[in-house]
Amino acid sequence: MANSVMKIRTIWVSLTSVQSALPLTLLMMLLMALLMTSVTLNAQAASVDGVRMWAGPDSTRLVFDISGPIDHSVFMLRSPNRVVLDLKNVRLTQSFRGLEFNKSLLSGLRSAKRNGKDLRLVLDLKTNVQPKSFLLKPTKQYGHRLVIDLQSLSVKPVAKVAHTVTKAPKGAPRDVIIAIDAGHGGDDPGASGQRGTREKVVVLAIARELEKLIKKEPGMTPLMIRTGDYYLGLRKRMQKARENQADLFISIHADAFRNGRASGASVYVLSSGGASSEAARWLAESENSSDLIGGVSLDNKDDLLRSVLLDLSQNATIAASLDVGGHVLKELRGIGKVHKKRVEQASFVVLKSPDIPSILVETGYISNKREERNLRNKHYQRKLATAMLKGVRSYFAQNAPPGTRLAMRGNQNHVIRSGETLSGIAQRYSVTQLALRSANSLRNSRLRIGQILRIPVL
């Protein structure tokens, strides 16, 4: 509608400029014709031109591509459960064939015409859900969209199991929980490389490598924040980490930069005062924009944000984040170039947990040809994950939370006596030399008499 109004205004301007050369009656006739065209333009229906779907473990998102803003209403019908979407003055130009409902909360999607010009969409459901809908304006790669989020209301046993795994019996030492957050997902692909590599895909692959490594690491348990190709709101990610009492939150990204030559990994922690450099600011904006794509109507936003802002432990958490970030950056330096030598600070929403040390690792620039190739490479993905694990390991060797298995072992110290070697001590405590070196930040196996070695967890 706005378009046709604009057009008329443009033509009116050009008409007034030739007004003197035209008889007034002719001008009036032209204007009438124009106004009539605009009426038919306004009456023209918007269209639904496509649909995309992403399914998470307990939520499903449907995104309808529409030709322009529309009026719509949503309601639930029971037995059987279904969500009904009424779209005013809208027609359907695409069929919904080819949608895969397998892992979603839907069993089908139907459409019907109503009142000759309206469109009704019926989402047949496998379970009871809470629907939420909102319109999105065009962004980078998409036009107008109508988004339907379905949140399952039935508690899945899967979620329960995942939760109890993280809880040790009272009094027994527990594992340190590492939350691994693969950035973006679903209808938010993140950055793209020149070969079409998508950030959401490579970061999930790296996250899965890290998950595997942490699973094998004594005293640590991984918690995957996103387990597939679907979008999770930034605050939902924090929330999941909090609900599972994570001890550390690592968000993994691989972003683009205006300059295709920018390269190297970076580590970010939350800044209280916003971005600390121009690049950091730019990144902060593009990261946070995904919350706009994903969570326009998140109900819990304000409460959590308020609590985040109020929490006085934030400063201590930032200090801890800087510490763990430093360890990770040091390890990343070991596998290649880093973008900045120091841990950077930016105001990424996902890092705002007031009490969980959180870091965001930019594994590389997907906009850089060479790094795009690396990021697609399984071997390189594993290298990145290994560097992150080593950083996390050496951080916890010095900062194990009380009550954890790491803390129990970490309290065990060994004072070096004459003639002792690293390999001998490793053997004695049944740990690897690498673990000893990492726990004590040793560059080589040289020891001095009187030196105190922290013995890491088995």
Residue 43, classed as helix, strand or coil, is helix
In this complex, which beta carbon is closest to Zn ion, that of residue 175 or of residue 344? 344
The residues near 285 (Cβ < 8 Å, ≥ 6 apart) are: none
What is the nearest approach in angstroms of Zn ion to the Cβ of residue 360?
A: 8
What is the nearest approach in angstroms of Zn ion to the Cβ of residue 302?
A: 25
HEC string of 273-288 equals CCCCCHHHHHHHHHHH
Is the Cα torsion angle 397, 398, 403, 409 positive or negative in sign? positive
In this complex, which beta carbon is closest to Zn ion, that of residue 190 or of residue 357? 190
Q: Is 274 exposed, middle or buried (0-12, 13-18, 19+ CB in 10 A)?
A: exposed
What is the nearest approach in angstroms of Zn ion to the Cβ of residue 36?
A: 49
Longest dimension (CA), the chain: 110
Name the site residues for Zn ion (rule: CB under 5 A).
Answer: 183, 190, 253, 255
What is the nearest approach in angstroms of Zn ion to the Cβ of residue 290?
A: 7
Q: Length of the chain, please?
A: 458
In this complex, which beta carbon is closest to Zn ion, that of residue 190 or of residue 233? 190
Measured from the Cβ of residue 83, the count of other Cβ atoms closer than 10 Å reads: 23
In this complex, which beta carbon is closest to Zn ion, that of residue 183 or of residue 364? 183
Q: Among 271, 228, 397, 217, which Cα is nearest to 324's?
A: 397
In this complex, which beta carbon is closest to Zn ion, that of residue 149 or of residue 255? 255
What is the nearest approach in angstroms of Zn ion to the Cβ of residue 199?
A: 5
Q: Which residue is nearest to Zn ion (CB)?
A: 253
In this complex, which beta carbon is closest to Zn ion, that of residue 183 or of residue 264? 183
Cβ atoms of 330 and 391 closer than 8 Å:
yes
The token pair at 138 is: 């065009």
Cβ atoms of 380 and 374 closer than 8 Å:
yes
What is the nearest approach in angstroms of Zn ion to the Cβ of residue 293?
A: 12
